Amino acid sequence: MQLKINGQSMDVSVDQDTPLLWVLRDHLKLTGTKFGCGKGLCGACTVLVNDKPLRSCSVPVSVLKGMNITTIEGLSGSTAIQQAFVKHDVPQCGFCQSGQIMAATALLATNANPSENDIKNTMTNLCRCGTYPRIKAAIQDVAKKELIL
Amino acid sequence: MIFNISRRGFIAGLGIASSSLTLGFSAHAKQIKTLIDLNGYVSIDVDNNVLLTLPKAEMGQGVNTTFAMFLADEGDLDWSKISVQSSNDLSLTGGSGSISGNWRSIRRAGAILRVQLIQAAAEFWQVSADEITAKNSILSYQDKSITYGQLVSKATLLKLPKRLKPKKWDELNLVGKPTITIDAQQKISGELKYTGDIQLDGMLYAAIYHAPFSLEERIKTTYKQLDQIEGLSYNNQISQKGLVIINGAIALLAEDYWQAQKRLDALELHFTDDLTVIDTHKYAKQLNTILKDQSTLENVSIDQYFEIGNLTHSSMETSTCTVGFIDEKWHVWAPTQNANDAMRFAQAGLIVDKPIQLHTMPLGGAFGRRLVNDHVGQAISIAEKSLKPIQLIWSREQEIKHDHYRAMIHARIQVSVDETALSAFKNGTTKLNKAITWLGSVASQDSQLIMGLNPIYRFEDQSIRSGSINTPILNGYWRSVGDFPSAFFNESTMDILADKIGMDPLEMRLALLLPSSKEAKLLTLVAQKANWGKSKYAQGIAVKKTFGTEVAMVVDVSVDNNKLTIHKVVAVVNIGLIMNPSGAKAQVEGSIVFGLTAALYKGVDVENGVTTNSNFHDQKLLTLKQCPEIEVYFVEGGRSPKGLGEAPVPPVAPALMNAIFAATGKRITSLGLEDEFIF
């Protein structure tokens, strides 16, 4: 099976029903995407598929053939939202952060100036350390900049 | 050039116990490895990179950053060149004691580093040490400069300084100022390696299924079931289907975790033992019966029961452990809060005694859960039986069902205040008659059951009695330990009393506290910051001292029909000395979110020996949408920092419940509001 991940074509041979998460982590060794619940409830495994957020633990890889998959490794490390997460000192344990970054990236891609309610309704990823106030502040910071530009 | 440094010499030279921080220089990266068995050390390589190895675990509480700040300040180091790791021999990390217990050692290490390097530079340029300046890992004399790295080899040959003068507090550049988490960039780019990101050649992935809680030894229960599967037994190796039996659980190995979990789930394991007696509803009844059977005070004004269920840790990283047998040694990668305990589990997990090398990894949250290292014992057992490198990953379901819960605890609090005492109190005496607390818990040996229950308020006579019942449900330490239930029971009772005697909850607390007490001061300050009595929302207040740190809190809520909205939490924290204002604030914010989850969502239920909750849909965590605005204020004072990773948790639940009472007149005495409100 051929997948398009971070702009590269990658061949994998796995069962059709294998969720994308485990293809990424266990077969392609792209371990930036994390496992948190396996049921699409926590968002630690969020990636982008055709620029939309997807919880990769719950989607069989076979339905993603030909689509553009972006993982945390596909971001530069210094995108506006990544810089804002550093500036606002968001991460604590860090485990959910890849997923949070991907979810925030997707939000800002479709809505350059999200309102507080937009953020609240979109950012549904869980964080046990409680970094929520800072995630919100980081997104708002990027949104503000986009407006000025 | 490579220099061998006598480790013993360094320990002796530093004159500190071997369990505390030790300093070592290394000229080459390779040499660093030879020092890694030490409990903690600092090394600088020729390229000027600094590696700080800490005797404590980093689980999101920010110790890596705070320690590195002290080292950088005292050592005049280039912040961008410092990286931090945990020692493979890290000591128990809990009780909010990492910074308060080790900050002096790390300052000392930094100071030694600076003095040694300045001395080396002085000898290099043949000038007096007083003429050398050190900044950003560079030593300068007039217009000449040289990096620390270039002088490391020279510095290692020098004797350790006899006397050290740490810098003055106002000479520190980083300490006291908001400093970004040292590995924030790695965390937001997915580069930080956790245990599950360790990949070994030929590694298989293991999913696990535990036997139910059982009054018998758990292993027997497992056997009974597993004898029916392919005739496997504990002494068998791996079955054709990849099954392995270990103590109290069965594991299944496959090429990836998904296959392993899918095949394990397909087995539909059912345990046949009658375990109906193992049931949290039944335990709750038993606890209440115990409490009811206690005597009742004369003239009792308040006789209130409280309940807290079994609470989960729910760290985002489930129990994970990677194991391989490499060069005649077991290598174990694991998240742990206690290396000794992890090693104990690892040794117990092996049938054949072999050397074990533990590699402590960054933790994806812990909150007390990784003080117990069952995952380590299991993973090494599976690897030994299967003769393969393996990675064990607990599903979220297993993580919730086989957590070591914060023990369920019920309380009955009685307060007796007669009319004479009350009118005297209202006329200015500072004491009330009598308070008595009865406690019941399912944890038979919860030594910290009554931690922090001693009321700070002045009653003429107060006493605490406790009892417990034995159950096979596993219990363990949980962020803020006994102070969590204590705060809920005591601070709710104070509001009940205030309502009973017709006083403002803040006024009554202040009247019952010594005006000079930290609690009285913090309550006054938090009331001021939160506009106590003047908010457009209903407010609740609470105060609690936990692990030496006092925190006062006001929560603003509104309730519309049964829709509960938590608008704002204002916290005032007596922090001692503040080290990293950004990290400190993050701990308070995180603790408030943690406390809200515990207040809003009931603990797990156990029926027939099995936890009925299974994943985040029925064991919920607070979300960003529900997260209120949080305001944090620090009160500084004293000469040393205090622990902060836990102290802001306990006041959250009582302040919230007191606010809900203010809004609705409804007194919540049992944690978990899903049945009463939507939020």
ipTM for the predicted complex comes to 0.97
* Confidence check: pLDDT of B242 > 50: yes
Are the C-beta atoms of B256 and A22 separated by less than 8 Å?
yes
CB distance A86–B185 less than 8 Å? yes
CB distance B317–A93 less than 8 Å? yes
Closest CA to B367 of A128, A121, A43, A66: A128
Are the C-beta atoms of B202 and B192 separated by less than 8 Å?
no
**Residue A121: Cβ within 10 Å count:** 13
Closest CA to B382 of B264, B224, B528, B285: B264
Residue B207 backbone dihedrals phi, psi, to 5 degrees: -100, 155
CB distance A130–B592 less than 8 Å? yes
- Mean pLDDT for B543-568 is 97
- At B75 the pLDDT is 93
**Can you give the pTM of this predicted structure?**
0.93
Grade residue B118 by pLDDT with cuts at 50, 70 and 90: very high
**Contact B314/A at CB under 8 A:** yes
Partner-chain residue, chosen from A77, A94, A132, that has the shortest CB–CB distance to B627: A132
Closest CA to B116 of B78, B68, B164: B164
Grade residue B8 by pLDDT with cuts at 50, 70 and 90: very low
pLDDT tens profile B73-116: 999 999 999 999 998 988 889 888 888 888 888 888 888 888 88
**Contact B403/A at CB under 8 A:** no
- Mean pLDDT for B410-414 is 91
**Residue B315: Cβ within 10 Å count:** 25
- At B215 the pLDDT is 64
CB distance A92–B590 less than 8 Å? yes
- At B36 the pLDDT is 30
Are the C-beta atoms of B193 and B362 separated by less than 8 Å?
yes
Q: Tell me the CA end-to-end span of chain A in Å, nearest whole number.
A: 42
Partner-chain residue, chosen from B258, B367, B624, that has the shortest CB–CB distance to A18: B258
Closest CA to A47 of A24, A63, A70: A70
DSSP state of B577: S
Q: What is the dihedral of CA B206, B209, B215, B221, to 10 degrees?
A: -90
* Confidence check: pLDDT of B339 > 90: yes
The three-class DSSP label of residue B565 is strand
Grade residue B363 by pLDDT with cuts at 50, 70 and 90: very high
Distance from CA of A121 to the nearest CA of B (A): 7
- At B156 the pLDDT is 74
Closest CA to B153 of B51, B26, B24: B26
Question: How far is residue B485 CA from its own chain's centroid?
Answer: 16
Mutate to test the interface with B, among A89, A124, A140 (most CBs of B within 10 A): A89
- Tell which wins on pLDDT, B146 or B469: B146
Closest CA to B591 of B16, B96, B119, B244: B96
CB distance B365–A82 less than 8 Å? no
Mutate to test the interface with A, among B258, B587, B613, B630 (most CBs of A within 10 A): B258
pLDDT tens profile B462-487: 888 888 888 889 999 999 999 999 99
CB distance A86–B186 less than 8 Å? no
**Smallest CA–CA distance from A123 into chain B, residue:** B624
Distance from CA of A8 to the nearest CA of B (A): 18
CB distance B185–A101 less than 8 Å? no
Counting one residue from A and one from B, how many pairs have CB atoms under 8 Å apart?
187
**Smallest CA–CA distance from A104 into chain B, residue:** B188
Q: Describe the strand order of the beta sheet including B82-86 as a list of residue ranges.
A: B41-44, B50-54, B82-86
CB distance B316–A96 less than 8 Å? yes
Which residues, in sequence order, are CB contacts of B343 under 8 Å at separation 6+?
B356, B358
pLDDT in tens, chain A (149 residues): 999 999 999 999 999 999 999 999 999 999 999 999 999 999 999 999 999 999 999 999 999 999 999 999 999 999 999 999 999 999 999 999 999 999 999 999 999 999 999 999 999 999 999 999 999 999 999 997 755 54
**Contact B202/A at CB under 8 A:** no
**Which residues sit opposite B629 in a β-bridge?**
B568
- At B233 the pLDDT is 53
Are the C-beta atoms of B245 and B221 separated by less than 8 Å?
no
DSSP strands (E only) in B390-449: 390-393, 409-416, 432-441
